[in-house]
Amino acid sequence: MSKQALDPIPQGNLNLHERQIPRYIAVEGSIGAGKTSLAKRLAESFGYHTLLEGAETNPFLERFYHNRRQSALAAQLFFLFQRAQQLGDLRQNDLFEELRIADFLIEKDRLFASVNLDDEEMKLYDTVYQQLTIDAPTPDLVIYLQAPADILMQRIQQRGIEAEQQIKYDYLEQLNEAYSQFFHYYDEAPLLIVNATQIDLLNNEQQYLQFVDYLLNIRTGRHYFNTTFFPEPKI
């Protein structure tokens, strides 16, 4: 389900006016993977609207990072209601009239819940989740940014968000494992898995243009974008 974007911004030698761009793209990845920054850059390139999760508006998040066990359920339910509302508004406004790039999948909410909640809390969460996500729209392309926990930790420390400085290495490893399991079986939409360890899609123009060119050729299936796309220069 793809259509040419309205008034896209040409970049480098890519003529986006003549390319078929997915109407609804979701960028996913663990904390620190760079999903929001990439979503914003793609939105600027394609002339799309963004749909961002707004973690900073969650009043329970800072408490959660200080004490995961105590505040996990409240933080998860806030995110669930927030994301369900965003996607509900998106459908009401007619997904097929608005061209969007999101920095989350609704399924990611349950992925985080499975890491953060105990069995009884998970039962309650699932009861609410099943009621709220029945009619969630499916993206035309999902981009999964993949990076090891040590790289994620470095990026979290570098961007300096105060509440995030409480995040532990083992928590990032748990999230990475949950993401790996989830995307191993994911087949709801075309999937592009990106090795985000050495690829810099925000500051390296050549890599970004090659990435955009690659994703515009995806129609179905599972695909990978990694450092093999950038061979070492010959001496």
Residues taking part in catalysis:
103
DSSP label at 14? Answer: B
For 66, half-sphere exposure in the C-beta direction (CA atoms, 13 angstrom radius) is 7
The alpha carbons of the chain give a radius of gyration, in whole angstroms, of 18
Torsion 215-218-223-227 (CA) sign:
negative
**Pairwise CA distance, residues 230 & 210, whole Å:** 9
Element spanning 76, H or E:
helix 68-92
Rounded to whole angstroms, how far apart are CA atoms 3 and 95?
12
Place of tokens 């927030």: 82
Quickly tell me which residue has 């996990």 as its tokens: 72
